[in-house]
Structure 1
Amino acid sequence: MPVARYFMFVGGALLALLFLIDAYSPSQAVIASHAAPAIDRNVVRIRSDQKLPERVVYDTSLPTIVPPAPKVRVAAAPQPPVAIDPTAQARVRNTFAQFVPVDVKKPEPQVQRKRKVARIRANPPIRLAQQQHFGFFGNNTW
């Protein structure tokens, strides 16, 4: 909470200084507008030495040119000879003709290893000094 309190006080002080300076300093816009002669700011003309490129005009009244269709004939694939419907026994034979047997390996039994037992030490744990934690509630040390 000390950081929030710091920002609150410093921010409030800076804002108060800003209002005080605004109240006691003369407005620069008012002084400048009375001192300068009246200028007609409605029309502003700017001339440049650089010339733009010529305009490109597209004539859309002409018809679109369509390229002629290519005169390529696609050869028809030769039709395979029509086979007589094989019997069920012939289909099964053809299926097994493409069968490739897979070598089945027997899993080897795994050898169990002996486990090591950890020894319990009798030494007490070491405690280290720690800094005090700053919290939001009740730890006002500033």
Structure 2
Amino acid sequence: MVERRPVKPADLMGRAAAAGQEARVVAARRRVANIRLTDEERRVGIDELSEQFALGRLDEDELHRRVDLVQEAVTHAHLQQAFVGLPTPSLYQPVRRPTGRWRWAAFVGAVWVAAPFFLLGLLFLVFGREVAAAIFGIPPLLWTALAFRWARQGANR
């Protein structure tokens, strides 16, 4: 009898992310399948095949056969035939867009929203209302800290 291990949510999320990435790559291949190749794209394809040869995934005869396929390829669909059984060439990997400054702009907006509440908490603290000061002062501090962490996380990607 096969023993079943419990599935962890993190494993499921990782599989979903990998499936989503693969779906984007397949969609990119379909979009450009009928578009003619440029000389630069052929050069990138040959470089990718050379890298696979250096890693030991191809022998010399297979490398030459696949390079000939790349040289004779007219469209991206023909180019894909040269990479059957190999990792996806970088031509079809989605381009990662850099996060803009909009996250920091959102952080500044969060600070502006939190500032009046924080100042009201300070005012309550000055006049001896510690409970009201905590109610009005602590949530804006947490809000600002979370917004800062979120903005910094986007800059690190």
Establish whether TM, by shorter chain, passes 0.5: no
What's the TM-score once normalised by structure 1's chain length? 0.19
Structure with the bigger percentage of helix: 2
Higher relative CO (Cα under 8 Å, sequence separation at least 6) belongs to: 1
Rg comparison, structure with higher value:
1
